[in-house]
A and B are shown apart, each in its own frame.
Chain A
Amino acid sequence: MFSKEKSKNIFLIILITVLLTMVIFTLSAVAGEAEKDLNFYVVSHGGPADPFWGVVIKGVNDAAKQFNVKATYLGPEKFSIQKMVDLLESAIAGKPDGIVATIVNFEALDEPLRRAIKQGIPVITINTSDPRPAAEKIPYLCFIGSDEYLMGVYSARRMLEAFKPNKPKRAVIAIHEPGWAGAEVRARGMKDVYDEAGVPSEKLDTTVDPTKSYEILRSYFQKYPDTEAINTVGPMSAHPAIKFLEEEKLTNKVKMGAEDLTTIIVDAIKRGTCEFTIVQQQYLQGYLAVEFLSLYNRYGLCPVESVITGPSIVDKNNVDLVVKMVEQGYQ
């Protein structure tokens, strides 16, 4: 239809138009915030693709609206400590009025966060804290989150309870993000309880890809058909596990425990595929962080040490209470 030359030009024009549209879109999102007097960055290791962090982001955005501040959530598309620190460096360069960060790895985050604090930027941590003793750890204002180790402990204990008076012959701990400190600490909590109870347990890397996850689980169960318990550490390991148990018709033989909440997990609890889930109310982690930074900037007020948002257990007994909130993105 068009000559080769013309097609190339038209193609180029379309691409540049798309780019300009994205820029204008970003600009308009930014322009509306111009009147806000406070600007915060929430830098987390969790990316926009993880439903768990979707709830945190909602908390951040709701609080930003409520307190009339600007809060931008930053997270790498795929789990990457390096990319998270790069985002943090850019955030610090923006001279914000406050930074919220997850201490996914205290060594990598130590230098940039200390530098930010030295420059007078208040820092609050959420979700994963600095595990070092008070004298060594990063001097952030406070930590908002759950106790990861306890989450693992509650998870394994609740699983054992479901088998009483027997014990599961074997338990597998499905981790979708090996290397993420939170998952490893939860897994350690689970393993400690299982070891004490004499139940053989093993960690399994199921990756963040649901198809791969399914196949990895299938291979594992083929190798260890006596496995009777699956513990997952987040929705990205739970969803494929739920699908796997139902499609392979293992729901009567194998009990499953999850962590965190999504509509899929809630439905699975109702159906009986999933025995329970451990929640940490991550909405509060996003919401309270923005609230505390606003109060600190305006009035110098902030809670100290830790504000603990979990763990607590959701199972068949109380799942109906949370269903609606999960659908709306609050839980």
Chain B
Amino acid sequence: MVKKINRFMNFVRWPEFGALLGFLSIFLLFSIISTNFLSLVNFSAVFTVAAELGIISIGINYLVISGEFDLSVGAIFAVTPMVLALLVNTGISPYIAFIISLFCALLIGFLNGLITLRARIPSFVTTLGMMMFWRGILLAVSKGFPISYSSNNKVLLNILNSRVLFSGMGVRMSSFWYLIIAVIFSIILVRTRYGNWVFATGGSKEVAKAMGINIERVKMINFLISSLLAGFAGCVSLARFNIVDPTLGSGLELEALSAVVIGGTFLSGGYGSIIGTFIGALLIGMVRSGLVLAGAPAYWYTAFIGIILIISVAINAKIRSMVLGE
């Protein structure tokens, strides 16, 4: 009996346990109440939504674990494809434009890091200000109109986000990018020295410093990761819609933070999981589609997600305290 409990506790110890539990319960719920929930079409729809949100969330996750925030990811999500579309529309090769636009995303991340770390302003404030700044730039440049990607060369867009399997209902490339990014960044976090440094930086600054970790460099790299992934996700989104409108990604920063938190990462830093975030973003995507298929009126959605967010944090905290015996 004791052996069985110990084995169960091994699962509970996973940082992803809470997220998995939540995901399975809600999956079960929607399977019962929503028509056509258990269908390939629906799963691809859920994955499509979750992929764009999830890629951003994975980027933010590194920052949160190391003790910082990035509220500008929604704006970067829109600015990067805007740069891509504008460059391509002037005739530059899509691939070069893609590289330049990702570089712009990195630049914004670098600015975020520089201001936060040098001026010692809380990252919450820095990135909030940057978000408003870049949103304003977006509106000013676009003058309110969506910007269209008008090159005939669609290869780049196809690589980023075309439908590939079971054409018509199919899974998009973005789902694969999401999986690949989740696996890579999870491995980096959990199996490399750098991952250790990230945890240490967020867990206890003094201990990390004493161990000889360059905290500022770790955080700066995380700012770059966050903005790069947000920019990449934005380009993936452009590939789906073929346009960038000035409201793109509005509010996405909070949704990404929700996915991170539902996934078991602590906002206080030092603890978290990429796989948990992967599940968290899928959960949010699933709730939206599940509610549509259940015929729920549009008024309920944010309310549902809000409650799920609070419940998952409470459950995660409870599991943590059970595991750590607090």
Contact = CB atoms under 8 A, between A and B. Distances in A.
Interface of A: 8, 11-12, 15-16, 18-19, 22-23, 26-27, 29-30, 33, 39, 41, 47-48, 70, 72-82, 85-87, 89-95, 105, 107-108, 110, 115, 118-119, 175, 178-179, 184, 203, 205
Given A48-B299, A105-B243, A178 B45 contact: no
A29 B296 contact: yes
A331 to B, nearest CB: 22
Given A8-B314, A77-B301, 9 more contacts: A15-B307, A22-B303, A48-B298, A82-B241, A82-B248, A85-B241, A86-B45, A93-B41, A94-B42
A28 B39 CA distance: 23
11 contacts: A15-B311, A15-B314, A47-B298, A72-B297, A73-B298, A74-B292, A82-B249, A87-B298, A93-B44, A94-B36, A94-B42
Given A23-B33, A178-B144, A179-B145, A90 B296 contact: no
Given A22-B303, A85-B241, A205-B139, A12 B318 contact: yes
Interface of A is mostly: helix
- Measured as residues with beta carbon below 8 angstroms from the partner, the interface class of chain B is 35 or more
B298 A75 contact: yes
Interface in B288-304: 288-289, 291-304
B291 A26 contact: yes
A80 B250 contact: yes
A105 B318 contact: no
Given A81-B243, A95-B36, A184-B145, A90 B293 contact: yes
Give the residue among A8, A39, A73, A74 with the most B Cβ atoms within 10 A. Answer: A74
B16 to A, nearest CB: 20
B168 A179 contact: no
B145 to A, nearest CB: 6
Contacts, number: 152
A169 to B, nearest CB: 24
B213 interface: no
Interface in B224-262: 237, 240-243, 245-251
Nearest to B311: A15
B214 interface: no
A81 B296 contact: no
Interface string B105-146: 000000000000000000000000000000000010011111
A9 to B, nearest CB: 8
Contacts of A110: 242
A93 B298 contact: no
Contact of A78 (B148, B251, B288): B251
Given A90-B288, A93-B289, A30 B314 contact: no
B310 interface: yes
B49 A74 contact: no
Nearest to A109: B241
